[in-house]
């Protein structure tokens, strides 16, 4: 279970708008343009309630997917979550089954275009058109997720624009008498119809498959999921009300193109053409998303040796080209060999099983108590939300018939056979569930914790993390002589003891024990000894520079390394509160991301003073350097006391470099000519300083 290097990672180029469009476009298709007629035939005008009831079971699935994808934003989504929580067997079943189910759903979307095209071209041959679009979207996806996502934005924007026209034009034409039977609600019919239309919402979770490619996944993934949910609920509710209100019941019950039928009642043939175009855009949108998301499953499984290494190949745009080729080929084979409308619904029960397993995965990850499991979004009402999310899908599956259940069991058997005959001997890892066993005295798998720490480093800090303040207030020890590691620990512990009011021996023992058992990250000339302690309120750090370097001895059965293979020149002794492990690990990960820079140690050794050392660690958008020179805009600060400064909100002076000395800023200190100030703050405030004092970006 290796941490991905940058060459093997997919590009993070999908914005909030991209993934909102992916989630929305993957959802508004058959549920709106095909199913309302069938739903009306079963529940009458009460089908509006069926659509609203059907959204209830999707909410736990979305909450769970949002939590898991912000903790583990990796290609493959559901596969990755199940594999890392419950082990590679469950991952194989989920990954292989989801890949095939998505391919089937994508094929159905391509065929769905035909139902609307036949309105105007009764003799059109659907199969060549469907195959052509499969190839077209495969080619679009080869150019990168951003290109496919941008095309998705165009499709979804067009769909929403046309739906707005449908709503505005349709409301005045509603015949209220069409709703008289709504008071005669039959519970069984409404619930059975809810089970039928539930599949209308499953596309909302597809963005988890491309979470590795999302910018700022901790914020954008949950936002996109819930914004898309709100959009489709409004569309389904208002849209079905209009369809019921303008189409006579006997006609709606027989219609496979209910939106076009309603539009024709509203605005004649022109309306029918408009909504036919909207339907085609919707099905094309589903096909585009289907190829994008499903192709990430072979890639993710190949990375973990559950499928052939050929699927790991990325093209120059860092896109899994072979996975796309094979996925498109599978879709074309399905189109050529099967009666798609008859079998597409079979995949619904399997997707419901996966939703239940995702809720279970959240419980497993939380109860594993792995510190590095650090989701940016946490599901509310845990664990009751997840328990509800485990139970309700099986209630819906019971409404879907034996054929659908047997198809899902077939996918479960296929995944199991594939794992035992192909993958079992190729993997040496287990899921987070073994960390639960470890709490009961059984087995655990340390590689998962290491991988999650790697993901933490990729995700970076959160807005509220006090990283820059911790760096700015850190004590510096600069050592120019020969020294050993225990003496360095002693010096650092004494400084931290004064800052935290903790006994020196407690700190020394914690740092030394952590290093001996391999818990201290050591690489690229830097080491990060760290502790979490009770009864401290905030993180503190001591930074040590050892110009002549020192070897760090490690003696552990857990670690393969028994001594640092190179001299260590940089030490970062971090102590944080016990009750905030995620923030502690994110601060460590941020330091590690700086250390990973090949030029770090060279620049570290060449730094002239404490200010230069700290500025190497501060985030570029969170600090600036301001020199108080005459004849510049900063001249107005000369002679002003720090307490009288009017800095932007959230900004403060962290360090003052004056005539070769570092001065800790206090309110009664008066700024002098040629002072070099290090100012930290929020990005907006730092940008304001750049503009006000015409600071050149460093």
**What pLDDT score was predicted for residue 438?**
60
User: What are the angstrom distances between the C-alpha of 300 and each of 78, 132, 145, 439, 457?
Assistant: 10, 27, 16, 29, 19
pLDDT digits (tens, 9 = 90+) for 2-20: 455 555 678 888 999 999 9
Q: Where in the chain is the domain with CATH 1.20.1740.10?
A: 16-425
Q: Where in the chain is the domain with CATH 3.40.930.10?
A: 460-615
Topology adopted by domain 16-425: Amino acid/polyamine transporter I (1.20.1740)
Correct CATH for 460-615 of 2.60.120.10, 3.40.930.10, 3.10.620.30, 3.40.1280.10: 3.40.930.10
Share of the chain above pLDDT 90, in %: 44
Nearest alpha-carbon partner for 160 in 58, 219, 79, 232 = 232
Whether the pLDDT of residue 512 is over 80: the answer is yes
Which tokens belong to 323? 């996975």
Which tokens belong to 397? 């599956």
The DSSP H or E segment spanning 454 is helix 446-459
**What band does 223 get if pLDDT is binned at 50, 70 and 90?**
very high
pLDDT digits (tens, 9 = 90+) for 588-600: 989 988 998 889 9
Which tokens belong to 92? 């194989």
pLDDT digits (tens, 9 = 90+) for 56-102: 888 999 999 999 999 999 988 899 999 889 989 999 999 998 898 88
**What band does 518 get if pLDDT is binned at 50, 70 and 90?**
low
User: What are the angstrom distances between the C-alpha of 307 and each of 74, 136, 311, 327?
Assistant: 17, 26, 8, 13
**What pLDDT score was predicted for residue 20?**
95
Mean pLDDT over each residue of the chain, to the nearest integer: 86
**What band does 607 get if pLDDT is binned at 50, 70 and 90?**
very high
**What pLDDT score was predicted for residue 450?**
74
pTM of the shown model: 0.83
Please state, as a whole number, how many other Cβ atoms lie within 10 Å of the Cβ of residue 554: 20
**CATH node for 620-692:** 3.30.70.1450
- Listing DSSP states for 380-415 in one string gives TTTTHHHHHHHHHHHHHHHTS-HHHHHHHHHHHHHH
Average pLDDT on 436-447 reads 60
Average pLDDT on 423-433 reads 74
Q: Where in the chain is the domain with CATH 3.30.70.1450?
A: 620-692
Whether the pLDDT of residue 42 is over 60: the answer is yes
Q: What angle do CA 595, 462, 84 make, to 5 degrees?
A: 80
pLDDT digits (tens, 9 = 90+) for 537-578: 899 999 999 999 998 876 544 334 445 567 899 999 999 999
Is residue 534 within 8 A of residue 581, CB to CB? The reply is no
Nearest alpha-carbon partner for 156 in 58, 31, 164 = 164
């Amino acid at each position: 279970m290796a941490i991905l290097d940058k060459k093997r990672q997919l590009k993070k180029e999908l914005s909030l708008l991209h993934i909102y469009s992916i989630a929305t476009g993957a959802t508004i298709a058959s549920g709106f343009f095909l199913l309302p007629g069938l739903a009306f035939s079963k529940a009458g005008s009460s089908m509006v309630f069926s659509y609203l009831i059907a959204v209830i079971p999707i909410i736990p699935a979305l909450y769970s997917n949002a939590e898991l994808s912000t903790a583990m934003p990796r290609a493959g989504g559901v596969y990755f979550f199940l594999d890392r929580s419950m082990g590679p067997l469950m991952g194989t079943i989920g990954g292989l089954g989801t890949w095939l189910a998505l391919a089937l759903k994508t094929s159905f979307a391509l065929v769905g275009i035909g139902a609307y095209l036949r309105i105007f071209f009764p003799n059109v041959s659907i199969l060549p058109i469907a195959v052509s679009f499969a190839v077209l979207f495969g080619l679009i996806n080869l150019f990168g997720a951003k290109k496919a996502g941008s095309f998705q934005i165009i499709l979804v924007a067009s769909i929403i624009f046309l739906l707005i026209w449908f709503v505005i034009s349709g409301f005045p034409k509603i015949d209220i008498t069409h709703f008289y039977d709504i008071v005669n609600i039959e519970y069984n019919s409404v619930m059975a119809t809810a089970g039928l239309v539930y599949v209308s919402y499953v596309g909302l979770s597809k963005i988890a498959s491309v979470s590795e490619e999302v910018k700022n996944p901790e914020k954008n993934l949950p936002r996109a999921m819930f914004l898309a949910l709100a959009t489709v609920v409004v569309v389904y509710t208002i849209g079905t009300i209009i369809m019921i209100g303008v189409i006579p019941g006997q006609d709606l019950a027989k219609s496979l193109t209910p939106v076009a039928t309603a539009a024709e009642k509203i605005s004649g043939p022109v309306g029918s053409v408009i909504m036919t175009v909207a339907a085609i855009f919707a099905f094309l949108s589903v096909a585009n998303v289907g190829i994008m998301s499903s192709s990430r499953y072979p890639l993710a499984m190949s990375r973990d040796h559950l499928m052939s290494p050929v699927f790991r190949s990325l093209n120059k745009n860092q896109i899994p080209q072979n996975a796309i080729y094979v996925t498109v080929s599978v879709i074309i084979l399905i189109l050529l060999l099967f009666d798609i409308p008859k079998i597409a619904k079979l995949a619904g029960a399997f997707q419901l099983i996966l939703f239940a397993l995702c809720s279970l995965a959240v419980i497993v990850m939380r109860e594993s108590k792995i510190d590095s499991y650090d989701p940016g979004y946490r599901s509310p009402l845990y664990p009751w939300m997840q328990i509800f999310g485990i139970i309700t899908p099986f209630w819906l599956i019971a409404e879907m018939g034996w054929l659908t259940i047997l198809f899902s069991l077939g996918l479960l058997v296929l995944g199991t056979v594939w794992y035992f005959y192909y993958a079992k001997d190729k993997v040496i890892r287990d899921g987070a569930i073994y960390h639960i066993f470890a709490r009961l005295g059984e087995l655990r798998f340390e590689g998962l914790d290491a991988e999650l720490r790697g993901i933490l480093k990729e995700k970076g800090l959160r807005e509220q993390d006090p990283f820059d303040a911790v760096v700015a207030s850190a004590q510096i020890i600069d050592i120019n002589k020969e020294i050993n590691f225990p003496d360095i620990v002693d010096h650092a512990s004494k400084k931290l003891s004064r800052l935290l009011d903790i006994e020196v021996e407690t700190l020394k023992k914690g740092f030394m024990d952590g290093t001996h058992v391999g818990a201290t990250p050591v690489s690229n000339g830097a080491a990060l000894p760290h502790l979490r302690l009770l009864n401290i309120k905030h993180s503190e750090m001591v930074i040590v520079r050892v110009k002549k370097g020192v070897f760090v001895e490690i003696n552990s059965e857990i670690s393969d390394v028994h001594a640092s293979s190179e001299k260590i020149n940089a030490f970062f002794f971090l102590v944080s509160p016990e009750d905030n492990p995620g923030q502690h690990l994110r601060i460590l990960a941020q330091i590690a991301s700086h250390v990973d820079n090949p030029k770090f140690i060279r620049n570290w050794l060449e730094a002239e003073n404490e200010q230069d050392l700290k500025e190497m660690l501060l985030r570029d958008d969170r600090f600036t350097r301001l020199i108080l020179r005459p004849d510049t805009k900063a001249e107005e600060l000369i002679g002003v006391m720090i307490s009288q400064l009017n800095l932007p909100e959230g900004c403060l002076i962290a360090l003052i470099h004056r005539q070769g000395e570092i001065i800790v800023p206090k309110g009664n200190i008066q700024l002098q000519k040629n002072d070099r100030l290090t100012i930290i703050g929020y990005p907006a405030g730092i940008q304001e300083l750049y503009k006000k004092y015409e600071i050149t970006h460093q």
